[in-house]
Amino acid sequence: MKTGPVLGIEGTAWNLSAALFDDDLIKLVSKPYKPVQGGIHPREAAQHHASVITSVMEEVLKGNPSPVAVAFSQGPGLGPCLRIVGTAARALALSFGVPLIGVNHCVAHVEIGRFASGFDDPVVLYASGANTQVLGYLQGRYRIFGETLDIGIGNAIDKFARSQGLPHPGGPEVERIAKDGEYIPLPYTVKGMDLAFSGLVSAAKEAAAPLEDVCYSFQETAFAMCTEVTERALSQTGKDELILVGGVGMNKRLQDMLACMCQDRDAAFSVPIPQYLGDNGAMIAYTGRVMLEAGSVLPVEASRVNPSYRADQVDVTWRKEPVTSVMHPESYGARGAEAIIRFENRRAFKIRVSKRYRHPELDRRLIAERTRAEARLIAEARKAGVRTPVISEITTDTIVMDQVNGVKLKECLSPELLEEAGRMVGNLHAAQIVHGDLTTCNFLVQDGKMWLIDFGLSGTSAEIEHRGVDIHVLFQVLESTSKDADTLKEAFIRGYREKIAVADEVLEREHEIELRGRYL
């Protein structure tokens, strides 16, 4: 494959940006769209991109070698903006007589983060306007371990900022005002490795408190949620590297929380330089270059833009599987994302650990609430026919229960065991209990029997939505960790249908929840 600089064009939303990238960045030029008021207006943004794209291309190419390929942001993003960029990229590729490469915008954020950090196999927190995702590589794809169930973190901040009359984008101004604030309680919504921001936005808009206190508390709450689900992904996968990418990654408080969490987990942490964090042409050009080297080019007829293009739909042909297992030794021990398990005299002591990255008041509240709720719901689940450990004692941060010497389901996945897991969850949901963290680490297998543990995020609900979210968490874990995910999901569904009358309604809702993450 011919080597040389690749021209990359980014224009998924607010920023029209182009770059030349060879072994390193040669030139980067950006001309962002700035709305007069409110958020991004797609057609206005597209008109802006159309008006500046010629001058941006001229500035990038002037005095530099001709590109050996043209890469462009194929999606996800705003349709009108994507079409401007796609048309320009096709014309330039034909003009130069070079290959055309369609780049997934989300994957480009990941790849420029890997380039900047030098990390080989990191977990990635991608935090931007429309996106909040925790990703990792497995078997030829970037798998999404967890994501927002409603709106992205950047859009959540912008919605709150607009309600307070703050300029767009809202993130920098909220961060500035928050420096003088004090903590007030706001809704904290984490569901396994997924999270939701709508309740937080609504509560922040209506909060009867000084603006600096609300801004401060909004950040403390939202970023603690992001950090918690990211830590859960590190624990689940056993990986020991983390990178933060996306425009919201510029926020110093978010960086500090993640750095603190990684320090406590002995994990390496990296954030790219600011010019690589927001939407930029350099990430498209760099990713296009590694794709070119792997032979991932497009015929013109396959270059249609895709506003709903998911990171986990991309065949990652340019990466090799890690040489060593992704499993970290501690994954087999007694340390999880939230608690330490100590064994003594055939009893397990689950001790919730204080998190230095969280505000102390929020930390105390979550530990106390989750410990009480877990103890109560473990007992209720047993009454519903779900095999759980027997509890003998509880305190504000500790639950003492019978020791279960099982192996995690993630270590022995099979259709037979997933079918039994389906029956267990069916019984649980029929008793109007949602687990909240249905990962394959929270099912233990002992002597052919299955146990369900870790009810720290559990609650009671008869709503189809909550049950659907519960199963969505498990299905995401299967998709992100197993090549046999479809077979395992089918087995789970068989077992689930045996135990709950509304199974088909719940499974239909789970599919709807999945589609929400596909930018529809």
Return the active site residues: 437
> CB of 88 within 8 A of CB of 94?
no
Assigned token pair, 295: 């032979």
Q: CA angle 289-290-294, nearest 5°? A: 115
Assigned token pair, 231: 């830590």
Q: Can the peptide bond before residue 42 be classed as cis, meaning omega within 30 degrees of 0?
A: no
Assigned token pair, 416: 């037979």
d(CA 169, CA 153): 12
> CB of 145 within 8 A of CB of 480?
yes
Taking only the tens place, the pLDDT of each residue in 274-327 is 999 999 999 999 999 999 999 988 876 678 999 989 998 999 999 987 764 443
- Residue 169's alpha-carbon distances to 76, 248, 394, in angstroms, are 20, 10, 46
Q: Identify the band that residue 40 occupies on the pLDDT scale cut at 50, 70 and 90.
A: confident
Taking only the tens place, the pLDDT of each residue in 407-458 is 999 999 999 999 999 999 999 999 999 998 898 989 999 988 999 999 988 9
Report the share of the chain in percent with pLDDT over 90: 80
Q: Which helix (H) or strand (E) holds 25?
A: strand 25-32
d(CA 173, CA 202): 19
Q: Does residue 2 carry a pLDDT above 80?
A: no
10 Å CB burial of residue 183 (0-12, 13-18, 19+) is middle
* DSSP H helices in 164-301: 171-178, 198-206, 211-237, 252-265, 274-277, 281-293
* pLDDT at residue 451 in the model: 96
Assigned token pair, 411: 């270590």
* pLDDT at residue 334 in the model: 56
d(CA 504, CA 402): 35
The number of angstroms, rounded, from the C-alpha of 218 to the middle of its chain's C-alpha atoms is 19
| Domains, the chain, with CATH or none | 6-106+277-306 (3.30.420.40), 112-275 (3.30.420.40), 333-516 (1.10.510.10)
Q: Identify the band that residue 517 occupies on the pLDDT scale cut at 50, 70 and 90.
A: low
Taking only the tens place, the pLDDT of each residue in 245-256 is 999 999 999 999
Taking only the tens place, the pLDDT of each residue in 344-374 is 999 999 999 999 999 999 999 999 999 999 9
Burial 359-376, CB ≥16 within 10 A → b, else e: beebbeebbeebbebbbb
Range name among 29-33, 107-111, 234-238, 389-393 with the lowest pLDDT average: 234-238
Average of per-residue pLDDT across 329-335: 43
Please tell me the pTM assigned to this model.
0.88
If we measure between CA atoms, which residue out of 505, 510, 499 comes closest to residue 386? 499
